[in-house]
Amino acid sequence: MFRGKVESFSRIRRGVKSNGKAVGSHLTMERDRKKGRGKGERTSILIFTLLLLLIAAATASGREAERVTDARGKAFSPGPYRRIVSLAPNLTEILFSIGAGDRVVGVTSFCTIPPDAGRIARVGGIVDPDIEKIIALSPDLVVASKNGTGKSAVETLDSLGLSCFVFDVDSAGKVLEAMETLSLLTGMPPEAGKVIESFRSRLLRLRKSTPREKVKGLLLLSVTPPIGAGGKTFIDEVLALAGVDNLLKEETAAYPRLSAEKVVSLRPDYIFITRGMGEREVARFRKTMEALSGNTRIVEVDADLFTRPGPRVLKAVEVLRKVIGRR
């Protein structure tokens, strides 16, 4: 009797142990499953974090690639800039040509083209602009010329924390580059693309059609005393594209000062002089040249057209070709 109860009790205990083992195994499996899920979640979070870091790095790299560098090697954000002060007439012309004239809030006293530029606030001269007037206009960008704007003016603007982008435009190719850069800085105005492509195709066409047989000539920016354009100027390129062999191209100075005798000794076919000089000075120069050399033709040309490396530089080439009979 007692043995039967003891056996029954033993079976019950074994059953409890067996059930306990089963329950324990179940709990262990659940715990392991949770641990595995925890590891998976941590792995997912790590991967997601790495992806975010890669995206951030790629974005930063893209921004760095988009930065624009000026003639000094200084990097700028591409903008778009909406309040621009132009300290160079040629840059003012370029801004208007690409459809960004509405962004210009200040110009120099010499920025007369196009006519709309005459209605914009003046900030003084090219070399020595009025810094206070520039500041008062609250520009987000100031554009300057490497060979025109005074170095001290640029340094002052930099020290005041103003974004001053310096251009070095000394050839038709550099005009094209300036057009592209200013288009980028102003957010690519709608008409900019067509204007740039038109300039590019015209420049290519003029280069391909440059006359092989050239006439001899020179261009004078002054006649008292005679001051000409040498080989280190964009005017030299204009003359070359027009089919004129610049007789001053070997001069050391960019704009050499000459004597009347020196001019005559060069035996030019053409002497181009820029308009704007005194009538008496020009008349006296003509008389001197005719007395010394009757075979030289003296032609007056538009000063702005031939002294500003801007979007009209190709027109200057076409004007000269017409004058010398080389279309």
Q: Are 193 and 80 part of one and the same domain?
A: yes
If asked whether residues 257 and 160 sit together in one domain, one would say no
Angle (nearest 5°) at CA 101 between 96 and 104: 125
101: nearest Cα among 76, 77, 79, 119: 119
10 Å Cβ neighbour count for 184?
16
Domain extent, residue 167, equals: 75-206
d(CA 114, CA 62): 36
Q: Are residues 201 and 218 in the same domain?
A: no
Measured CA distances, 49 to 46, 52, 60, 255 (Å): 5, 5, 16, 62
pLDDT at position 56: 47
- Separation between Cα atoms, residue 186 and residue 82, nearest integer Å: 7
* Residue ending a domain, choose from 18, 49, 66: 66
Q: How far is CA 225 from CA 55, 218, 278, 292, in A?
A: 64, 15, 13, 17
> CA-to-CA distance for 175 and 309, rounded, in angstroms?
7
Per-residue confidence (pLDDT) for residue 157, from 0 to 100:
97
Please tell me the total count of domains within the chain: 3
pLDDT at 30: 56
Q: Where are the alpha helices (DSSP H) in 160-191?
A: 172-185
Look at residue 115 in the predicted model and tell me its pLDDT: 95
- 180 in the same domain as 268: no
Q: What is the pLDDT of residues 250-305, one digit of tens each?
A: 999 999 999 988 998 999 999 999 987 878 888 888 888 877 666 789 999 999 99
Question: Residue 271 in 3-state DSSP?
Answer: strand
Rounded-to-integer distance, Cα 182 and Cα 142, Å? 11
Check residue 43 and give its pLDDT.
61
Distant-in-sequence, close-in-space partners of 41: CB < 8 Å, separation ≥ 6: none
How many residues are there in the chain? 327
Q: Mark whether 231 and 292 lie in a shared domain.
A: yes
**Consecutive 10-residue averages of pLDDT for the chain (327 residues):** 44 47 52 56 58 47 67 94 98 98 97 95 97 98 96 96 97 97 94 96 96 94 94 95 97 94 91 87 84 81 94 96 86
Residues 183 and 304 placed together within one structural domain of the fold: no
- CATH of residue 139's domain is 3.40.50.1980
Residues 91 and 202 in one domain: yes
Supply the pLDDT for residue 274.
Answer: 93
